[in-house]
Amino acid sequence: MIDWDNIRKFRYTEDAPPPEWPEGVQAISLPGTTLLGVNPKTNKLYWDGQELATEKRLANFERGMALIVTIATVVLACIEVGRAAEWIAH
């Protein structure tokens, strides 16, 4: 049987985190990884029963590129439909 209170007590490693990490961020100890969980139905990640926030957002550059590609695709589709209907000369 797992002693959850003991795992929570030693969830972080005693080693100092890398200097480039943000202040206050601590490394998880090997026993502390037991506190990570996944809901198989939703594939959401949890730490000690609390859902971790994950974002799936595109950056501004990526959104701009997606918009440009979408517009170009629509324009080309309209041109091809016009050619097929013989509204536009080949």
Q: In the beta sheet, which residues pair with residue 38?
A: 45
Indicate the pLDDT class of residue 41, thresholds 50, 70 and 90.
very high
pLDDT at 89 over 80: no
pLDDT at 88: 73
Alpha-carbon distance of 31 to 77, in angstroms, equals 56
**Residues 9, 44 share a domain:** yes
What pLDDT, in 10s, does the model give residues 46-55? 999 999 988 8
Q: How many folded domains does the chain comprise?
A: 2
Q: In the beta sheet, which residues pair with residue 28?
A: 12
pLDDT at 68 over 90: yes
**What stretches of the chain adopt beta strand conformation (E)?**
36-39, 44-47, 50-51
pLDDT at 52: 92
Q: Which domain holds residue 33?
A: 4-51
**Residues 42, 11 share a domain:** yes
Decide: pTM greater than 0.85. no
For 36-71, give one letter per residue: b (16+ CB within 10 A) or e: eeeeeeeeeeeeeeeeeeeeeeeeeeeeeeeeeeee
What pLDDT, in 10s, does the model give residues 18-34? 999 999 999 999 999 99
